[in-house]
Structure 1
Amino acid sequence: MKNLLYIVLLTVIFVGCDDRLEELNTDQKNPASVAAESLFARATREAVDNIVSMSVNDNPFRLYSQMWAQTTYPDESQYTITAREISLGIWTNQYRDVLIDLKDARQIIATELAEGTSGNSDANLGNRMAIIDILMGYTYITMVDIFGDIPYTEALDPTNLNPVYDDAATIYTSVAGNLTTASTTLLANTAEGGFGSSDLVYGGDAAAWARFANSIKLRMAMKLASTNSATSVTWANEAMTAGVITTNAQNFAMTYQTSSPNTSPVHEDLVLSGRADFIAANTVVDMMNTYNDPRRSVYFRENLGAGVFDGGIYGDANAYANFTQIGDILHQPTTPGVLYNAAETHFLMAEMVERGGYSVTGTAETHYNAGITASFDQWGATIGTYLTEPTVAYTTATGTWQQKIGTQLWLALYNQGLEGWSTWRRMGYPAFNAPPTMTVADIPVRMTYPLRELTLNGTNYSAAASKIGGDAVTTRVFWNQ
């Protein structure tokens, strides 16, 4: 009887230990399966953060667009890329943190659609896949605009550690087609919604995502305007017909929260870091002073006195207290991260009128004024007599239409560094300043590939570098020839 009691006791102990070991070996924070909604929400947050962030480790574009300058450490304003491996930061953030999550979310939804296991309608699941395709397309186009040729068709295959680099123009064509298909799907099923509360931007509004898709296609079209006018006209007309973002209420803008870790990355860089690394650049301040631009008091602080704005020397090590500082609005934790605003659409329409051949009504001046007005409204600035200032008014401002539209578009893209830089690359305006001891020819027109690619994917890297004309910051992407 005693031996039997021992056997029972030992059995209970071992069974209890086995259950405990299983519990200990289960990662409670990293579940084996993740819902598509969670993957999509995380990818959206990362996609916006990547573009909005001011981290010098992976986003130099407010500096490349010459909207901001630096203080103690001006390396990024002097185009030092490899010291902090900025290219690798961008590459990793987009492929690993955005595209892979979106791919996995799409695969989960496709399985749910095939098996009928989600509880959602087929139309809703189709909308969700369309929305994912839009955000993936935006991310790939962002990478093309930064690097040129990149891995695309083989990029997200975990069994292929050496993906080929696809032709940048071919990627543009592929993404444009995907955006069109996604927009058509969403507009045919607007009542079916999308990701609901897991959608951090549009809250499940299918029609809003369709407008964003068409707006990105319009942006792509106008980047082709000088190198492939026929395709540019076709894509732009298709986008306008399908419906694009025209009001600030439609902007692609993700609002952050009041407390960490969900505050704006800009708030983290300007406030939580406790550092004073950034000031307004003289490039943008001097221009806005010339225009007597009322947005100055929103974009910047009046720390030098009421109505006094003096930008730091771009590319130099400036004293933080001696120059105009970044505006209080960007120090707020909830300031939205914007990937596309209404002002951009109106300026692109002004450009379409000037170029001719596009299906757009109205005058260039009307759309130009609408773009400026939309920018003022977005930032809550009072426009006053700005539109009639001789240096601003379309009929009296000096320069070509490219200079007028390009400069005002660039000003309206404040806090959207990547597109500000792309506007300068594409239109040649506004005039940028060369850092001390450099020339304008030294300003990058693309980002070099990560050094890791040379080491780990050398054959494909070398082929891509040779094809685009060399892996250099002076090599132009295909739409900027």
Structure 2
Amino acid sequence: MKSVKVLSFLLAASVIAAGCSKFGDTNVNPNGATDPSTAALLSGVEAGLGSYATQTREGLYSQYFSETQYTEVSNYALPRLDFDAVYSGALFDLQNIIRYNTDADKLALSAKFGSANHQIAIARILKAYIFWTITDRWGDVPYFEALKGEEELTPAYDTQEAIYKDLVKELKEASDQFDGGSIATGDLLYRGVAASWKRLANTLRMLISLRTSKVYPNPGEWAATEFANAYADSDGYISDSTQNLTLFYPGTAAYRNPWYNLYLTRADFAQSKVMTDFMAAYNDPRQTSFGSSTIGFPYGLTRFDAVTFGENNPTYSRIHPSAYRAAGAPVVVVSSAHVMLAVAEARQRGWIAGDVTEAYQKGISESWRQWGAKGDINAYVGQANVSLAGGNALSKIHMQQYFAFYPNGMQAWANWRRTGVPALVPSPNASNPSKQIPRRFTYGSLAYSVNGENTNTAVGRLSGGDTPDTKVWWDK
């Protein structure tokens, strides 16, 4: 895939500005165009997708990373965070693409950017992905009544179960919506190619349904049925690294790899010793791509001890070597390794037929391919702690999922909550009352001040209240 050329008109073309409401009642830039380019809106959303795969807070909770100076997050300071910016930003832009392609008065404006069905289908798939990441972090959130602007400024919170099931429905319908019309322009990810978007939709259906394995563990239940349907869909799923959902950065000042920006002026984060110890224990050659050295930074230190360790070990491992965090380095958001290891788990659970070991080894090899790992993969998978022949197959699959998600902390933290693998030990300096790794984000101050009644109703459904120890629906 060619490197993405982010168009210079992106910001000028979009009229969506940060506003006072998190659900779409935004202020309009008086100097901007009256009508946006739907191509520019799509490009703008896609250009920001890399942030979903490079979150540090979730990477700290999953112990991929350690803090090197300010250690509050890795010691579990209260994660009271707002989701407003995502609603008034990326989600509202995607909703506007849908609106401009369904409103009879706007169709003529959007038609020059591709078939209405193509544009709507892509927007729906991206919306589903983003909403998935939101509900996995907070649990119940506004969904069905959100993004309606002045029609609904204080939307109700929907249950995570209802959201999950609608996300799968949306992905199915979006995939079927592509027609024979002209491809959508402004698509930085798959150049408007419907086949690629259909593969992504099926992939997300598989990953979303697998996330509910605690609730629906058995063959024939909702998760197994939805996974099997997506797996068997004739449009396929992401099974090769050339099909990965990858964001290619041009390296310009406005659009650079997030890891590059993270280390541009500071070095507040490092690869954790937890991770480097795992890589050593598994003789895993991916370490040369995962970190800049083999000196992992201890996890959960006090600020004094963290600063001291950094001063005494200046070559501690950063997140990736410099080549993987260059300004123009790509970021993989969804990979074939994630999917093939999900297939291996589904086969192991009896959800679908097939050779578990074949899918498992392909998942590992796809991850190695993604990271350019060098070594004898047959020797690697033959190790006692890797080979499925020695028992504990499900735990071994989960461990390889943990490796394959690196450095996507958002997915790793969710998958760890689902599986309990690896057996992470909470920070010895935890500051929260339970001293345990957080299981969810708590609702932010804006949720209470802007939409207090509905927020409190949602809190009333939480068995443990609005705390980081309360589990989301699928984390039973």
Using the size of structure 2 for normalisation, the TM-score is: 0.85
Give the CA deviation at 1:116: 5.2
Aligned amino acid, residue 218 of structure 1: M
Give the CA deviation at 1:117: 5.9
Task: Determine if contact 1:278/1:320 at 8 Å carries over to the other structure.
Answer: no
**Aligned with residue 219 of structure 1, among 207, 216, 232:** 207
Determine the C-alpha separation between the residues in 2 that align with 1:348 and 1:167.
25
**Residues 206-245 of structure 1: pairs in structure 2 closer than 5 A:** 206-228=194-216, 229=218, 230-242=221-233, 243-245=236-238
The corresponding residue for 1:344 is 338
**Aligned with residue 129 of structure 1, among 99, 104, 120:** 120
The corresponding residue for 1:69 is 66
Q: Deviations over 1:326-380 (max 9, x none)?
A: 2223321122222211011111111111111x23322x22111111100000011
Determine the C-alpha separation between the residues in 2 that align with 1:114 and 1:312.
54
**Residues 9-20 of structure 1: pairs in structure 2 closer than 5 A:** none
Classify 1:37/1:31 alpha carbon distance in 2 versus 1 (closer, same or farther; 3 Å).
same
Determine the C-alpha separation between the residues in 2 that align with 1:259 and 1:203.
20
The corresponding residue for 2:167 is 175
Is 1:479 aligned to residue 471 of structure 2?
A: no
Task: Determine if contact 1:314/1:434 at 8 Å carries over to the other structure.
Answer: no
Determine the C-alpha separation between the residues in 2 that align with 1:94 and 1:441.
30
Give the CA deviation at 1:402: 2.8
Determine the C-alpha separation between the residues in 2 that align with 1:369 and 1:155.
42
The corresponding residue for 2:245 is 252
Structure with bigger gyration radius: 1
As a proportion of its length, which structure holds more helix?
1
Determine the C-alpha separation between the residues in 2 that align with 1:30 and 1:268.
28
Q: Deviations over 1:397-436 (max 9, x none)?
A: xx62232011111101111111111111111101112112
The corresponding residue for 1:17 is none
Moved more, 199-208 or 316-325: 316-325
**Residues 16-415 of structure 1: pairs in structure 2 closer than 5 A:** 30-46=32-48, 48-54=49-55, 59-81=56-78, 87-88=81-82, 91-111=83-103, 118-119=110-111, 124-159=115-150, 160-186=152-178, 189=179, 192=181, 194-196=183-185, 198-228=186-216, 229=218, 230-242=221-233, 243-270=236-263, 272=264, 274-302=265-293, 309-316=294-301, 317=303, 318=306, 319-320=309-310, 322=313, 323-328=316-321, 329-356=323-350, 358-362=351-355, 364-384=356-376, 385-396=379-390, 400-415=392-407
Give the CA deviation at 1:128: 1.2
Aligned amino acid, residue 415 of structure 2: T
Task: Determine if contact 2:53/2:410 at 8 Å carries over to the other structure.
Answer: no
Task: Determine if contact 1:279/1:320 at 8 Å carries over to the other structure.
Answer: no
Classify 1:193/1:375 alpha carbon distance in 2 versus 1 (closer, same or farther; 3 Å).
farther
Three-state SS of the structure 2 residue aligned to 1:411 is: helix
Give the CA deviation at 1:468: 2.2
Classify 1:51/1:382 alpha carbon distance in 2 versus 1 (closer, same or farther; 3 Å).
same
Q: How many equivalent residue pairs?
A: 429
Task: Determine if contact 2:300/2:429 at 8 Å carries over to the other structure.
Answer: no
Three-state SS of the structure 2 residue aligned to 1:145 is: helix
Give the CA deviation at 1:27: 6.9
Three-state SS of the structure 1 residue aligned to 2:190 is: coil
Determine the C-alpha separation between the residues in 2 that align with 1:433 and 1:414.
18
Task: Determine if contact 1:251/1:342 at 8 Å carries over to the other structure.
Answer: yes
**Residues 412-423 of structure 1: pairs in structure 2 closer than 5 A:** 412-423=404-415
Task: Determine if contact 1:112/1:118 at 8 Å carries over to the other structure.
Answer: no
Aligned amino acid, residue 75 of structure 1: E
The corresponding residue for 1:5 is none
Aligned amino acid, residue 43 of structure 2: A
The corresponding residue for 1:464 is 458
Give the CA deviation at 1:450: 0.9
Determine the C-alpha separation between the residues in 2 that align with 1:262 and 1:344.
26
Q: Can you give the 5+ residue segments of structure 2 that lack an aligned partner in the other structure?
A: 1-27
The corresponding residue for 1:10 is none
Determine the C-alpha separation between the residues in 2 that align with 1:420 and 1:113.
44
Determine the C-alpha separation between the residues in 1 that align with 2:361 and 2:108.
51
Give the CA deviation at 1:234: 1.3
Task: Determine if contact 1:50/1:93 at 8 Å carries over to the other structure.
Answer: no
Three-state SS of the structure 2 residue aligned to 1:203 is: coil
Classify 1:441/1:284 alpha carbon distance in 2 versus 1 (closer, same or farther; 3 Å).
same
Using the size of structure 1 for normalisation, the TM-score is: 0.84
Determine the C-alpha separation between the residues in 1 that align with 2:453 and 2:159.
16
Moved more, 379-388 or 288-297: 379-388
Three-state SS of the structure 1 residue aligned to 2:230 is: helix
* Cα RMSD, aligned residues only: 2.2
Give the CA deviation at 1:114: 7.8
The corresponding residue for 2:25 is none
Aligned amino acid, residue 473 of structure 2: F
Task: Determine if contact 1:149/1:468 at 8 Å carries over to the other structure.
Answer: no
Q: Post-superposition, which runs of at least 4 consecutive aligned residues in structure 1 deviate over 6 A?
A: none
Aligned amino acid, residue 260 of structure 2: H
Determine the C-alpha separation between the residues in 2 that align with 1:184 and 1:368.
30
Task: Determine if contact 2:205/2:227 at 8 Å carries over to the other structure.
Answer: yes
Q: Can you give the 5+ residue segments of structure 1 that lack an aligned partner in the other structure?
A: 1-25, 303-308
Classify 1:32/1:472 alpha carbon distance in 2 versus 1 (closer, same or farther; 3 Å).
same
Three-state SS of the structure 1 residue aligned to 2:358 is: helix
Structure with larger RCO (C-alpha < 8 A, sep 6+): 2
Determine the C-alpha separation between the residues in 2 that align with 1:185 and 1:361.
30
Q: Deviations over 1:45-90 (max 9, x none)?
A: 23x1431344xxxx511111211101110111112245xx6x12xx
Classify 1:72/1:236 alpha carbon distance in 2 versus 1 (closer, same or farther; 3 Å).
same
Determine the C-alpha separation between the residues in 2 that align with 1:193 and 1:346.
32
Aligned amino acid, residue 462 of structure 1: N
Determine the C-alpha separation between the residues in 2 that align with 1:97 and 1:118.
20
